[in-house]
Structures are given as structure tokens and as C-alpha cells.
Structure 1
Amino acid sequence: MDQLLHHLRHLGFTEMESKIMVELARQGSASGYEVAKRLGVSRSNVYATLQRLEQRGFLRCSPGEPAKYSMLKPEEMTRMISDQMHTSLAYVERSMPQSEPEKPVFYNVEGDKNVFENLSRELAAAQHEIVVDVWREEAELLREDLQRAESRGVRLLWSCEGGEGMLDQPLPLPRLPISGAGTGRKFSLVVDRRWCMLGMRGESCPTQAVVTEHPVMTGLLLSHFAQELVLYELEQDMGRELESRYGGRYADIAARYWSSFSSENEQ
């Protein structure tokens, strides 16, 4: 009895409704007076509950004086409840307001395994474009993932420092020194102009990277990459003239800014 009442309450019936339904199911049919007497509760509460259950379709009321109430068959009642529940659940699923789950703006990834698993997953999901700025060692590790993406029709833009020939037509572009940045090799990738990773890897430093979909960071990396391509094109067209005027790899220009920046950091 207690278990049955417990489950009826879980289906949304009040304690009084549950007791009346069980009592009517046991007796077959009864008047409001008879139900109230059997349960030992006030007739006004019983009559109000009987009317409510009848309006909801769970009870039948026979004409006459006094009116007699009876329960639906158990299978009819449960089918009715099931239909109502499915209707309500479907409506809630369709109509409940939805918001995009918040993603961390930036998160850190540490260790070779975690970094390259993150990279492989994103490269495999790339649909339009991959921009890669890496050293020779990292280019070799990413070779198969990049080739698979390119074979799917994904546009591949990349530069490689430390040696030509690791991939087709590498762009060995100038790298400016960054004071206090350690001895690791810096790398960055941007996938579909949406997701990016910026990190460092080397024999003397742990592999670490920052991952984000923040548009400011992806924009900065794309802008930096575009500037490197422009400088590379200028070197190809005006290499000797640029070198004679500004020094190899623009060393004279870089010295103006990076030397003062370095000395400020050291103070």
C-alpha cells in the first residue's frame, strides 16, 4: 500500500488523490460519503478531490443520488498518464529556452601527448582552412594530420623554420627574438579562423600550449602570419635591396625595437 501511494505521488498526484484512487480501486465504486468515512477524512476535502480527479479523466461518475465514483482500469489509467507525460516532455523539449554552454575563453594544455592529441582532434575536424606556423621538428610530427586535411580539400597555409623540405613548398620566414621566452620552439596553429593553439616545445622546456576560440587571439595570430607572408614576398622580390638598406633579415630595424624592449624587461 505505502509503495503504491509513493509511486502515485511521484506521478504527480497529491497524497489525498492517491489515497482516494486506491480506495476506489479497492471498492469498485463508492459515494463521496463512503470514501470519506472509509479514509476517516472530511467530506468536503473528499468531494473537492473527487471532482478534480473526474475533471482530469481519472474517475467515472455514475448518475443518481448519491453519485457513485469508480476508477479507470489500471491499464487505462497508466496509458493516459503515459500519453500526458510524453506530450508534456515533448513540449518542454521543444519550448525550453536554450543557451550555448559557456566554453572556457582560454585553457592550458601541458605535455606532448595532450598537446598533440588536441591538435590531431582539431585538424581532423577542420573544414576550410588551417594556418600553421611551426619549426621543422613539429612539422614532422604534424605531417600526416596536415596531409590528411589537405587531401579532404582543406586549404593549408603554413611556414616552417629550421629547414626546407619537410612539407611541400615551405616558407622559411624570419623569427624575431623574444627576451626571456626560454629556449623552446614556439608554434601556433589556427583552424577555420575559429580555434587556435599557441605553445612552446623543446628538449630543455616542458611542452605547454594555450588553446582558445577567442576571436582576438585568432585574429592576432592570423595577422602575424599574414605579415610574415608579406615580408617573405618582399624578400623574394627585393631581397638584395632590402638587405643592403636594412641588414640581413631586417636586423637593423629589429634592433631598434627589440633591444629597447629587452632592456626595459631587464630593469
Structure 2
Amino acid sequence: MNQQAFGETEIQALRAIGLTEWESKAYLALLDEAPDTGYGIAKRSGVARGRVYEVLDSLVAKGAARVSNGKPQKYAPTTPEEFLKVHRRQTEDSLSHADEVLRNFGSRDESGSVIWDLQGRGDILNRAQDVINRASKRLLCEIWEAEADRLYSDLERAAARGVKVIVVAYGSVELPFATVFLHPGTDEVTHGLGSRWLVISADDREIVAGSVSGGTESRAAWTKHHGLVVPVTELVRHDLYKLEMLKAHGDILEETFGPALTKLRAKYGPLA
């Protein structure tokens, strides 16, 4: 095979995975006829003679070729299957290393004093999934039925790795791997606020909290700011206190404050 016989498709495919044009041509020449000397490969591939050994050494380093110890040295190709297997493993290792390094860099660089403004339901739920996936000990959540399906798998994986998942649920929410408290009077709460909200607190150190029922107009905050994480997380805890008390003494509390504590809601509800 001479250099004119190399297909552009094959060369471009090899260049797409990190080989140079000369490396691609030399590798194809080796596949066509090997073992061969550097001189022979240069002649058949069109790689400059003065650069052919540099190119071949690079192929050896990349796992695409092998070299003999004799004189003259001869080169043979690694089979495409083996070469791509090695390349795939190296690529995955490189991506894993980059992911670890960049995540650690991001953790160091991220300021705990920043409160990020999230806009749009999709962006809010994406960030909520990220926060859930970073949790290592406990998740305190307030979730409406409409958002439960989207977050189900992430919450389930968190529980599987040992994270305690506790949810104040609005509407029909089934999370068998979590401790779920069904909030009474969901319709009254939704009507009173005019929207649904979402709260995710991970390990008492990171939160996503805001309204998710406005489509692209939905707004929420994401932060590790201690001054916001503490009160938002404490509000979830207070809902849990209330629901535990309703579970144990609901008849007495509702006799005093009305079904689902509607009298208290009316007393301290949103301003008109």
C-alpha cells in the first residue's frame, strides 16, 4: 500500500482519537504490512524519513505499535481491537482523574458566602439532584408530588449508600427507602402560598430552596452560606417536629387549631 491508498475516513477516525496525521498514516501502513523498518514505513506511508522514528516511538508510547530489540529495529502494529481497548481505558482513567481534580478544585474554590440564584424549574431540579448526590450523612427534604418522580432515583441512590433520607411530602409521595411524613392540608398550603416549593438540605451544610411551580419563572437559591443553610434547615426540622406531634396528639391539636392546623395558618399565613 502507498500513501495515496490510505482512505481519508480511516485517517480522520484515528485523528479523532488523538493520533496525528503522520501517526495515523504510519499506523495504517503497519496494519497493511508488518513487521517493517522505519525506512520501509516512511516509504509506504509518506511520513518524512527524518521524522519517522519520532512518529513510530510516539505510536509505541500510545500503545498502537511495538518495536523489536534487533538490528535493524522493526515495528509491528497493535491490533485495532487491542489498541482501542487500551486507549479507551486510558481515556477513562484520564477522565476520572480530571473529574477528581476538578471536583476538589471546585470545592476549594467555591466560596461559602455565595448564594446562587437559580432560574427555571429545570435548573432548580438539576441542582437539587447534584446536592442530593453529594450528601453523605443525611438529607432533610420538603418535596411536592409533582417533583418526586424526578428526584426519586437520586434519593434512592443516596439511601443505598447509607444516607438517611427524611422527607416532608406534599401530596401522594411514595419513597419506600425514606422516612416520609405526609403533610396535611397540601391543597390549603399550595393555595395559600400560590406555588409549590422544594427544599433539599444535605448534611446541614448545603441547600437548594425555592419555588418550582412557575416553569421558566421558578426561582430558588443554592448555597453553602451558613447564615442561610441553618435557618432553612431548621424550618424543615420544625415541620418535622410539628408532624411528629400531630401524629401523636393530632386529635387534641386539631380540636384547638382546626383540621391541619388551619387556624394557625390563617393567623400567621402570607400577607394578602
User: AA paired with 1:245?
Assistant: T
| Equivalent residue runs for 1:100-139 within 5 Å | 101=109, 103=111, 105-139=114-148
Q: Which residue of 1 aligns with 2:12?
A: none
Q: Structure 2: where are the runs of 5+ without partners?
A: 1-107
Q: Corresponding residue for 1:246?
A: 257
Equivalent residue pairs, number = 161
Shift of 1:128: 1.3
Q: For 1:125-164, what aligned pairs fall within 5 Å after superposition?
A: 125-164=134-173
CA offsets 1:179-207 (integer angstroms, 9 cap, x no match): 995x3211111111111011111266623
Q: Aligned partner of 1:154: which letter?
A: V
SS at match of 1:131: strand
Question: Aligned equivalents of 1:184 and 1:140: distance in 2?
Answer: 18
- The CA deviation at 1:108 is 0.7
State the one-letter code of the partner of 2:129: S
TM-score by length of 1: 0.53
Are 2:200 and 1:172 equivalent residues in the alignment? no
Residues 145 and 172, structure 2, Cα contact 8 Å, conserved in 1: yes
Shift of the alpha carbon at 1:166?
A: 4.8
Q: Aligned with 1:170: secondary structure?
A: strand
2:174 corresponds to which letter in structure 1?
G
For the pair 1:212 / 2:191, whether they are aligned, the reply is no
What pairs with 1:182-201 in structure 2 (closer than 5 Å)? 183-201=194-212
Cα pair distance change 1:166/1:179, threshold 3 Å: closer
- Any conservation in 1 of the 2:246–2:253 contact (CA below 8 Å)? yes
- Runs of 4+ in structure 1 off by over 3 angstroms are 166-169, 174-181
Cα distance between partner residues in 2 of 1:120 and 1:164: 17
1:232-243 maps to which residues of 2 (within 5 A)? 232-243=243-254
- CA 1:167/1:141 → structure 2, altered by over 3 Å: closer, same or farther? farther
Tell me the alpha carbon deviations over residues 91-115 of structure 1, each in whole angstroms, 9 at most, x when there is no partner: xxxxxxxxx6462521111123322
What's the Cα RMSD here? 2.6
Structure 1 unaligned segments of length 5 or more: list them: 1-99
Correspondence for 1:9? none
Is the 2:144–2:173 Cα contact (8 Å) retained in structure 1?
no
Structure 1 residues 244, 180: CA separation in 2 closer, same or farther (over 3 Å shift)?
A: closer
- How far 1:133 sits from its partner (Å)? 0.6
Change (3 A) 1:249 1:205: farther
| SS of aligned partner of 1:184 | coil
